[in-house]
Amino acid sequence: MRIVPKALPVWSMSLGCPKNRVDSERLLGSLGVPVKSVAQMGRARLVFINTCGFIAPAVRESVRAVLDAANRLARCKNKPLLAVAGCMVGRYGAQELARELPEVDLWLPTAELAHWPALLTRALHLPEPPQKAAADGNRLLSTGPSYAWLKIGEGCRHNCAFCTIPSIRGGLRSEAVPALLAEARALLARGVRELALVAQDVTAWGGDLAEKKNLPFLLEKLMGLDGLTWLRLLYLYPSGVTPELLRFIKQAGAPLLPYLDIPLQHAHPDVLARMGRPFAGDPRRVLDRVRDILPEAAVRTTFIVGYPGESEAHFDSLCRFVEESRFQHLGVFAYEAEEGTAAATLPDQASDAVKERRRATLMEIQAGISESLLETQVGRRLPVLVDAPHPDWPGLHSGRVWFQAPEVDGMTYVSGPGVAPGALVECDIVENTEYDLTALA
């Protein structure tokens, strides 16, 4: 008689970016035993926190999460194992953190990502997990039935002056095609409709592989998979958005969406040069290229305000650029002087008040742009991918149209026949706000 192993009760939290989320899901699905998510820490055998260490506010949030967990677990009769992983551990090191936070039972640095399952099962006194690829389809999905993140690479080959990622995650390491296809097939077999590709720079995928493949090669492989409704690209480094890539997206059509997330970070060449970013001479070139070759594209971007040396004239130039460019989606971050980065040593650091004022100003500009762009969708009939029931309104669900990426963009509130998590429903767009749509099936 086959003995079915008992499920391991786990309470987990993944902070920061979707890449962290994938790491968490892969880990919890590769322990060699079934895993059951529990809502209360006291009912868990494992409490797992995947931290972010990218910027100081993220580090503070991670520390608060660990301390809160430690305080709650101190009151437990049967204390679960507290394991802390991720970028904060990679940035500050397990030894230093262990001195500051002795309540943590196990530290999992990013440099040992491949060994996390073995380290964790050893600490839990579980049988050693089988040696197999991480992308084996056993991920403990936390995103519901409609979408999943597919991490196609680790680390970064760029050296932006403000960024800590290369020092935390290391250089570019592309995921191999067979492993990615196996993981994608397994996700689609579980009913996932949308795959969103993520990496520190998606356009860099394949450049470090022995076969020297490129992103279109991977996209062609993924597009042919059964069950894939939408394929979305996130984190496109501006210099990687080449005419060849744009023409490929245009010719490919469904399921590859004409949605481009291109973090520009600034628009003034002086600031971009100090950042060590591409297109410093003319930041409009990449946007002009997109709109010339792929005019139907929805473009998302992010900007940093209050960077060292950013004058009022530089900021005014950025505001004009946003007003003229009319991005579908835009995020704004106040600059953080991160220890260990070149930017932290630059003169002319802006005050927190200046940075916050500039962030609020730019977001106010974008709010008006977003509202006017969404107004043009009212009266149209569009497919809506349904994500989840609304927590407060029976019959209402949250979902997204094709130009809304999960978790980072606005959403579409939808109701009517056939609306259920994971369904793709043709809907009438009936209303909009600054960032969201309302639709009826």
Report the mean per-residue pLDDT for the chain.
92
pLDDT at position 280, please?
A: 63
- pTM here? 0.93
The topology (CATH level 3) of 147-374 is pyruvate-formate lyase- activating enzyme (3.80.30)
- Position with higher pLDDT, 399 vs 282: 399
Give the homologous superfamily in CATH for domain 8-123.
Methylthiotransferase, N-terminal domain (3.40.50.12160)
In this prediction, residues 237-245 reach a mean pLDDT of 94
Residue 361 confidence (pLDDT) above 90: yes
pLDDT band at 376 (very low <50, low <70, confident <90, very high): very high
Asked whether the predicted pLDDT for residue 137 surpasses 70, the reply is no
Q: Please compute, for residue 326, the number of CA atoms within 13 A of its CA located in the half-sphere on the CB side.
A: 9
Report pLDDT for 167.
83
Given this model, what pLDDT does residue 159 score? 84
Q: Residues 326-347: pLDDT tens digits?
A: 999 999 999 999 988 999 999 9
Measured distance CA(329)–CA(366) in Å, rounded: 8
Which residue reads 């001479």 in tokens?
Answer: 281
Residue 5 is predicted with a pLDDT of 59
What's the fold here for domain 381-440? Answer: OB fold (Dihydrolipoamide Acetyltransferase, E2P) (2.40.50)
For the chain, which residues make up each domain, given as ranges? 8-123, 147-374, 381-440
Percentage of the chain beyond pLDDT 90 is 81
Predicted pLDDT at 136 = 52
How many percent of the chain have pLDDT more than 70?
A: 96
